[in-house]
Amino acid sequence: MKFLDQAKIYVRSGRGGAGAVSFRREKYIEFGGPDGGDGGRGGDVILEAVENLNTLIDFRYQQHFKAEVGMHGMGRDRTGRSGNSITIKVPVGTQILAEDRETLIVDMLKAGQTHLLCRGGDGGRGNARFKSSTNQAPRRSEEGFPAEEMWVWMRLKLIADAGLVGLPNAGKSTFLAASSQARPKIADYPFTTLHPQLGVVSIDDKEFVLADIPGLIEGASEGKGIGTRFLGHIERCEVLLHLIDCAEEDPVATYHTVREELEGYADVLVDKPEIVVLSKADQLLPEMVEEQREILEKGIGKKVYVVSGVTQQGVQDIHREVRAYIDGQRERRAMEGREDDVYQP
């Protein structure tokens, strides 16, 4: 299935049906009068967040969504049939933006969440509604209320607990494959990962979701390489895993390159907890790896972990550290009374 995280669609609810002008004229019935029924209500356009979807590819092949119009009223006080509503199913984590691509309409954060995007028009009143003591035979009815329509942008931000960042070929895909059942493409050239990948990691009878995004390069915030387009998929993460190839000539400079690109994208990523990891430890002698770790720790002032996705060295230790960060963040939110804010960036 091809990955697509942005799409533009047109939505329109159904207009209401018109009320009827009708009079009752039946043989042997003494009193007649107006009996025009009301028009039916137009259908709504409803959004629903569902599980088991992680792409917006369906909206590449269908961009127009229109609810059914309401039927007109009829004589004998018969109300027109209401139009059928339509429900658009989107992946959890989808943001709905106005046509300007800046105004947020709704953020679909939880499975089962629904949102009324366009309300159907009410049906018009038939002439039976206008009968009064001074107007026994009204010839007046109403047209149905108009529909609502709009163009909207859909932007998917995957829901993950932890996110992998680093330069191309930093070992992110290898680490994801070693940590979960995900099978990302792994090769010895840059940008083997062209779109985000998700994996479920199990550790000590607990699970968390790990996201891998395409690697960043210097100037990514200015559009170089794949740019920062996919960084939105880790905005909701509780913690970032910053992977650095242990064979880098200057691991400190490499670290700062990625951090500068994150800062150029948004402060929300810079402020997130970060675990720094030297990857591909199997490619160097242990003493050389330890030397690189000491250089990096001294240069950035943070603890540095060492892993190898190939030999599984240190992988479970990282999983436990990530799990501790996730639990800590959620406990902090619970104490602050923000239990429902689990997925907010």
Residue 310 marked in a binding site: yes
Residue 213 is labelled as binding a ligand = yes
Is residue 214 part of an annotated ligand binding site?
A: yes
- Residue 192 annotated in ligand binding: yes
Residue 148: CB atoms within 10 A of its CB come to: 20
281 labelled as ligand-binding?
yes
* Residue 166 marked as a ligand binder: yes
The answer to the question of whether 286 is labelled as a binding residue is: no
173 is in an annotated binding site: yes
172 three-class SS: helix
Residue 64, exposed/middle/buried by CB under 10 A (0-12, 13-18, 19+)?
exposed
- The reply to whether 167 sits in an annotated binding site is yes
- The Cα 340–Cα 268 span in angstroms is 19
Residue 22 assigned as binding residue: no
Is 175 labelled as part of a ligand binding site? no
Residue 170 annotated as binding site: yes
79 belongs to an annotated ligand binding site: no
Residue 311 assigned ligand-binding role? no
- 162 carries a ligand binding annotation: no
Q: Which amino acid is at 88?
A: I
- Tell me if 169 is assigned to a ligand binding site: yes
**Long-range CB contacts for residues 168-172, cutoff 8 Å, separation at least 24:** 168/192, 168/214, 168/215, 168/216, 168/217, 168/225, 169/215, 169/245, 170/215, 170/243, 170/244, 170/245, 170/279, 171/243, 171/245, 171/279, 171/280, 171/309, 172/212, 172/213, 172/215, 172/243, 172/279
Binding residues for GTP: 166-173, 191-195, 212-215, 279-282, 308-310
Positions at the binding site: 166-173, 191-195, 212-215, 279-282, 308-310
- Known binding residues for Mg(2+): 173, 193
